[in-house]
Structure formats: structure tokens, C-alpha cells
Amino acid sequence: MAAGGPGAGACAVTLSAEIPRRRLHRTVFILAGVYNIGWGLYAALDPQWLFRFAGMPPLNHPQIFACLGMVVGLYGLVYLEVARAPERGWPLAAVGLLGKLLGPAGLLYLILGGTWPLATVILILTNDVIWWAPFALYLRDSWPAFRRELKGGRRGAVSPKRE
């Protein structure tokens, strides 16, 4: 901005210590956020899709699957927040990865128990498995910033910077 123009001398918020591969992580979490919001909307609008796809009888209470869609969609908002401020997203991404591990464990239980057919594995391939590596890499890269913040350190904290 030109000296003396609007906003001259104003403080700009910058991050003093960026995480490694910041651009990659931002892209991953933007994609995850958009995907989850889209999946959640589709599941809420057509809660029988998985059951048709897998050749299962329709749900008696499709509102349950629609509610799952709502929860997945809300995770999309969480992932967009991680993309917005990746230096501060470790706890949010950790909860997201935990869900992406527990969901497949639950589905595996249903498949091995014969309750759901193998065709339902599509659910975890697109919702969970493809995100494991990028989420884990992000958690590794962002751990030092999260640890510093836990210890009350200033590196990685938001600080004012003069333009």
C-alpha cells in the first residue's frame, strides 16, 4: 500500500512462524472442507443413497443418515478453519483424523459381523482413507507450533506487524 494511503501505518496480522508445507496443508483442508460440506448436503438430501448403492433395504428412519450428513458437513467447516489458520489447527485436525480412524473401525465391525455388505466400503474410502496420509502429515508438521502454543511460547503466535 502506498505511504499515506488508506490504512497506512495500520497493523497487519501475520504469523511469525509458519508450519512446513503450509500451502499444501491449506489446499488439503480446503479440499476436505468442500468435500465434507458437499457430501453432508448430499447425504441430508438423499439419505438412502448408500443403501441403494449397496443393494441394502432402505432405512426405516432415513433421518439418522441425514443427521450423519449434517455432522460430516459440519466437519467441513472445521476443516476450512484449519485451512484458514493452519498454525492453530492441530486440535481440530486431530479430532478429524480420529473420526476418520474410528469410522472405518465401526464399518469394519458391521461388515465382519455380516450386518452390512462389503459394497459399503465405498463410504470409508472416500470419506476417510484418502485423507489419512495428508491429515497425518499435517499433524506432524503442525505439532511443533501447537506444542509451543501449549507451553505459552510466542513463536507461531499471531503478532502485529507494521506495514
Residue 104 lies in a domain: yes
Q: Please report, in tens digits, the pLDDT of each residue of the chain (163 residues total).
A: 444 455 544 444 444 478 999 999 999 999 999 999 999 999 999 999 999 999 999 999 999 999 999 999 999 999 999 999 999 999 999 999 999 999 999 999 999 999 999 999 999 999 999 999 999 999 999 999 999 988 886 544 444 443 3
Predicted pLDDT at 18: 87
Take residue 155 and report the three cell numbers written for it: 513463536
**Domain tally, the chain:** 1
Residue 8 lies in a domain: no
C-beta separation of 3 from 162 below 8 A: no
**Which residue is associated with the grid cell 450386518?**
115
Residue 113 lies in a domain: yes
SS3 state of residue 57: coil
Q: How far apart are CA 151 and CA 33, in angstroms?
A: 29
Residue 15 lies in a domain: no
Residue 160 lies in a domain: no
Strand partners, 82: none
Residue 83 lies in a domain: yes
Predicted pLDDT at 149: 87
C-beta separation of 89 from 81 below 8 A: yes
Predicted pLDDT at 12: 41
Dump strand ranges (E) for the chain: 11-15, 158-162
Residue 6 lies in a domain: no
Domain that holds residue 79: 20-151
Total-model pTM: 0.81
Residue 9 lies in a domain: no
